[in-house]
Structure 1
Amino acid sequence: MQNNDTLRSIRYMLDLGDVHVVDILALTGYQATRDDIETWLTKEDEPGFTAMPDVAMAHFLDGLIVHRRGRDESQPPRPVDPKVNNNVVLKKLRVAFELKEDDILAIMGEVGFTASRGEINALFRQPKHSNFRLCGDQFLRNFLKGLTARLRGR
């Protein structure tokens, strides 16, 4: 899934304005302007569209964790992953919203997407693990849709 689509989904899910997105990015030291956010939120086929870089999405997801859960002052800041894929997005959202395996299964079930515990666990494994599985766009889209329904109400 493109970073722009993920940003749009999370922004809608949490009812965030452009200023809030800039503030969340600033929590991890990433400097973005409202103009940057507007170009990232523009549809692909509209003029002014700019692809959101992976580093910006990584900072946004880490900032979302700090925004939702607070900063852990006892730990040094974690380095930001320069590469973002669907698995990373899923992991960061799980941490930000404090979701357990049962929560993820329930969210996926609410949108009619069946997944087993083994499939869920495989998505959160390290890439070098033999049972690691890449998170597909359809899975992430349905997860975002279900989480949005849960947070915003139907």
Structure 2
Amino acid sequence: MNIDNNDILIRLRYALDIKNTEMVEIFKLGGIELSKDEVLKVLTKSMDMDELEIEDQIPCDDEMFESFLNGFITFKRGKQEPKPGQPEKPAITCEHVNNLLLKKVKIALSLTSEDMIEILELADVVMTKSELGAILRREGHKNYRICGDRYARNFLKGLAIRYRG
């Protein structure tokens, strides 16, 4: 089963108990203006290809997803003044979605690598520190590894267990 960006947002929102109004604010902090109704359309579950597509769903592309995660960091940690020569808002990297999810949630929630490994263990997934390090590396680094859907799903599941009980 493939995990898409809309599904990841739904699971992340559930895991961290993010309210609809907070979702609107997070998107805005990431540079995307959405109304509460539009956010609800982004948070509509995608259907299988065999079934009819939901007309009202707003698909969350990679750029929108990354903008949301950038906004989430700002929402959780506050706005940082850019250093001289640094752009006003983070550039969209178009990196693999699952890697971005782990990296940016780690930053937003101020998680350590140990915290992330514990969160995965809550979902019965064992990952070594070096495996996690490879996922958190910059794309193009010789030890960089793409984070599979299984790890992303279980990370979100572990977050739900940790933050919702």
TM-score (normalised: structure 1) = 0.90
- Higher mean displacement: 121-130 or 14-23: 14-23
2:50 alignment partner in structure 1: none
2:21 alignment partner in structure 1: 19
Equivalent position amino acid for 2:139 in 1: P
Q: State the superposition RMSD in angstroms.
A: 1.7
May I ask how many residue pairs the two structures share in their alignment? 153
Among 110, 120, 140, which residue is 1:108 paired with? 120
Per-residue deviation, residues 21-61 of structure 1 (Å, max 9, x unmatched): 11111123321122321221112236222311222211111
TM-score (normalised: structure 2) = 0.84
Identity rate, percent: 35
1:64 alignment partner in structure 2: 72
* Stretches of structure 1 lacking an aligned partner (at least 5 in a row): none
Moved runs in structure 1, 4+ residues, more than 4 A? none
1:86 alignment partner in structure 2: 98
Equivalent position amino acid for 1:80 in 2: A
1:96 alignment partner in structure 2: 108
3-state SS of the aligned residue for 2:33?
coil
The answer to whether the Cα contact below 8 Å between 2:16 and 2:159 also exists between their aligned partners in 1 is: no
Q: Distance in 2 between matches of 1:14 and 1:147?
A: 7
- Higher mean displacement: 64-73 or 33-42: 33-42
